[in-house]
């Protein structure tokens, strides 16, 4: 099976073009677990499949390292868009991608014939509930946001004081979230800059999460903590997030990179 290894701010993926590679009869959730394993597989935060679509340029299917299937992945769709752009014969900068969260329209910013960065309209954030969640000795104020997938946003004064490996899985799997949730701890730097650490549902701690960055900004703007255009600093780098309150859509801009290609024995 031929694959391409890609990443967006260190959030890395194994991408397989199923328009060329035929995976009929393959247990895809198990394949995701196998290839994402960093000791016995290729190693990644997710498996992305490029599939044909009668509604868009292509369809994106993504699996987490535990075999679960998220509704959307912000860094993943930027990598997906870069792959489409870099490999298409008749290049176009505005692409359409069918996802579980609907049709997404990534816009490619190209350099020397290849995609260097991608802007994606991530749709309209849904600001849901705000409540206190008590975990043994911890008491967190949760801002629940949907970006097509679930997020629990928590504002803190000191990110270094957060034991993400301890509290991340407890919040992800809390009974309040029957479908589990992504978790973002957010520090406000100033009105145009925030810092975020992420615990991703089904993947654990990652270097970046595009939908998580969007959810963090949506919660911050709603709470009056930031302006509408914000630089989001994640462990893997920066994303530019803009929430247009007129049409209520949120835009994400950031890099996507190809690391290497290879073949994996099924």
Catalytic residues: 73, 209
Kind of pairing between the strands at 138-146 and 150-155: antiparallel
Q: What is the spatial distance between Cα 242 and Cα 227, in angstroms, rounded to a whole number?
A: 9
Q: Is 39 marked as binding a ligand?
A: no
Report whether 182 belongs to an annotated binding site. yes
90 is in an annotated binding site: no
Nearest of 123, 6, 92, 102 to residue 59 by alpha carbon: 102
136 CB neighbour count, 10 Å cutoff: 8
Instruction: Consult the annotation and say whether 244 binds a ligand.
Output: no
By three-state DSSP, how is residue 169 classified? helix
CA angle, residues 15, 178, 130, in degrees to nearest 5: 100
Residue 181 near residue 173 (C-beta atoms within 8 A): no
Distance between CA atoms of residues 68 and 86, nearest Å: 28
Choose among 44, 61, 38: nearest CA to 4. 44
200 is annotated as contributing to ligand binding: yes
Any known ligand binding at 38?
no
138 vs 76: CA distance, rounded Å = 32
180 annotated as ligand-binding: no
64 assigned ligand-binding residue: yes
Token pair recorded at residue 240? 């530019």
Q: Which residues are known binding-site members for substrate?
A: 11, 64, 74-75, 149, 182, 200-201, 210-211
Q: Which residues are known binding-site members?
A: 11, 64, 74-75, 149, 182, 200-201, 210-211
């Amino acid at each position: 099976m031929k694959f391409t290894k890609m990443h967006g701010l260190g959030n890395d993926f194994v991408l397989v073009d199923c328009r060329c590679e035929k995976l009929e009869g393959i247990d895809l959730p198990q394949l995701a677990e196998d290839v994402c394993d960093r000791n016995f597989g290729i190693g990644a935060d997710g498996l992305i499949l490029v599939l044909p679509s009668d509604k868009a340029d292509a369809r994106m299917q993504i699996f987490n390292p535990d075999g679960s299937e998220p509704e959307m992945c912000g860094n993943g769709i930027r990598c997906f868009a870069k792959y489409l752009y870099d490999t298409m014969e008749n290049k176009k900068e505005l692409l359409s991608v069918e996802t579980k969260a609907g049709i997404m329209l990534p816009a490619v910013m190209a350099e020397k014939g290849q995609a260097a960065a991608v802007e994606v309209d991530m749709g309209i954030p849904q600001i849901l509930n705000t409540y206190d969640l008590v975990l043994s000795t911890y008491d967190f104020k949760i801002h629940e946001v949907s970006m097509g997938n679930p997020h629990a946003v928590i504002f803190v004064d000191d990110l270094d004081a957060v034991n993400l490996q301890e509290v991340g899985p407890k919040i992800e799997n809390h009974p309040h979230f029957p479908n589990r949730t992504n978790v973002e701890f957010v520090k406000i730097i100033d009105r145009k800059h925030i810092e975020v650490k992420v615990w991703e549902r089904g993947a654990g701690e990652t270097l970046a999460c595009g939908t998580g960055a969007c959810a963090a900004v949506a919660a911050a703007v709603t709470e009056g903590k930031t302006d509408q255009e914000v630089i989001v600093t994640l462990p893997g780098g920066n994303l530019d997030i803009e929430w247009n309150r007129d049409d209520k859509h949120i835009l994400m801009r950031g890099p996507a990179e190809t690391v290497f290609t290879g073949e994996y024995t099924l």
